[in-house]
Every structure is written in structure tokens, then in C-alpha cells.
């Protein structure tokens, strides 16, 4: 039985700044994802705080929100069989130092903060995150 899912992907400011968005999108396409929605935007800190609200108690929350709002980002809806897990595998570990060869974060990530991409971590969060950026 098929289990096609949608997940939210963000190409973060460090990667957009280095003009890596085309290369990262190519990695998604090569790995069988369809990019069904896409836009390049910059959000303000208040919006970043809303987006990362699940992390509001974490010590890195303030820096994380400052960072996500520091420059343009590319937000996308990716579609594929088991997209949420497949995207997490393709991104690699949160900390690029721990990410496996062939993953986006291993290839492009600079640090745990500047780790080039974000991806939804569950079906429930994927729906919330897609609505956050694409609800019309
Ligand atoms: P992301 O997948 O976008 O989700 C939250 C982000 O917080 C994460 O990627 C990291 O870039 C950032 N972050 C910073 N410090 C930490 C930490 N200690 N643990 C997890 N995430 C962190």
C-alpha cells in the first residue's frame, strides 16, 4: 500500500547565502522527492519564534530564531512515499559533525546552528509547518 506524504523543508539562511539552493533542490529531486510548492522569503523574528515554538524552553531558542530570520530562506513542500522519514534521512543528523556521508548536512552544514536545512519531524508537525507557510 502506498503512503505518499508531504513534508516541509526549509533551506536555511547559511545555505541560501552561499547559493546552495539549486544544489540542495537537486539532491531532493535525485532522491525521488517532488517539490510541489516553493517560495523564497525572509521572515521576521516574531514569525521565527512562532515557527520554532516547540523549542521555546530550549537554551538555544533565542539564537535559533534570530538566525532563521537573519536572511532569505527557501521553503518547500516535498512529496514522496514516506516523505517525512525519507527527508530526515537525506538531511542527516542535526549536527553536521555527526551526519553520514551523502547527506545534505554532511555536505553543506557548517555547525549545529547553521545546518543548512530544516525538515518536519512527524506527520503532525508536517501539517502544522506546511500550513504555517502555505495556508492561503
Ligand atoms: P532544525 O531541524 O531546524 O530544528 C531546530 C534547530 O535548532 C536545529 O535544526 C538546529 O539547527 C538548532 N539547534 C541549535 N542547538 C541545538 C541543540 N543543542 N540541539 C538541537 N538543535 C539545536
pLDDT digits (tens, 9 = 90+) for 30-40: 999 999 999 99
Q: Which residue among 16, 118, 120, 126 is the active-site one?
A: 118
Please give the pLDDT value at position 38.
Answer: 98
Q: What angle do CA 76, 53, 64 make, to 5 degrees?
A: 75
The SS3 of residue 45 is: helix
Instruction: Identify the CATH number of the domain in which residue 64 sits.
Output: 3.30.70.141
Ligand 1 atom at minimal distance to the Cα of residue 68: 3
**What is the number of structural domains in the chain?**
1
Look at phi and psi of residue 14 and say left if phi exceeds 0, alpha if psi is from -120 to 50, else beta: alpha
How many CB atoms neighbour CB 30 within 10 A?
9
Q: How far is the centre of ligand 1, averaged over its atoms, from the C-alpha of 10 (Å)?
A: 13
Question: Structural domain of residue 100, as residue ranges?
Answer: 4-134
Ligand 1 atom at minimal distance to the Cα of residue 121: 2
Please give the pLDDT value at position 1.
Answer: 80
Q: Do 126 and 8 touch, CB atoms closer than 8 A? A: yes
Residue 136 has pLDDT above 90, yes or no: no
| Pocket-forming residues, ligand 1, beta carbon under 6 Å | 55, 60, 64, 94, 112-113, 115, 118
Q: Do 11 and 20 touch, CB atoms closer than 8 A? A: yes
Tell me if the pTM is above 0.95. yes
Torsion of CA 81, 85, 91, 93, to 10 degrees: -170
Whether 118 is catalytic: yes
Amino acid at each position: 500500500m502506498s503512503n505518499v506524504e508531504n513534508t516541509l523543508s526549509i533551506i536555511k539562511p547559511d545555505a541560501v547565502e552561499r547559493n546552495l539552493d539549486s544544489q540542495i533542490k537537486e539532491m531532493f529531486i535525485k532522491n525521488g522527492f517532488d517539490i510541489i510548492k516553493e517560495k523564497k522569503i525572509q521572515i521576521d523574528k516574531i514569525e521565527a519564534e512562532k515557527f520554532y515554538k516547540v523549542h521555546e524552553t530550549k537554551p538555544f531558542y533565542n539564537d535559533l530564531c534570530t538566525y532563521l530570520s537573519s536572511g532569505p530562506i527557501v521553503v518547500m513542500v516535498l512529496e514522496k512515499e514516506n516523505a517525512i522519514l525519507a527527508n530526515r534521512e537525506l538531511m542527516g543528523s542535526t549536527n553536521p559533525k555527526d551526519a553520514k556521508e551523502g547527506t545534505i548536512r554532511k555536505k553543506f552544514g557548517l555547525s549545529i546552528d547553521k545546518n543548512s536545512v530544516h525538515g518536519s519531524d512527524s506527520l503532525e508537525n508536517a501539517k502544522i509547518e506546511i500550513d504555517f507557510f502555505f495556508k492561503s
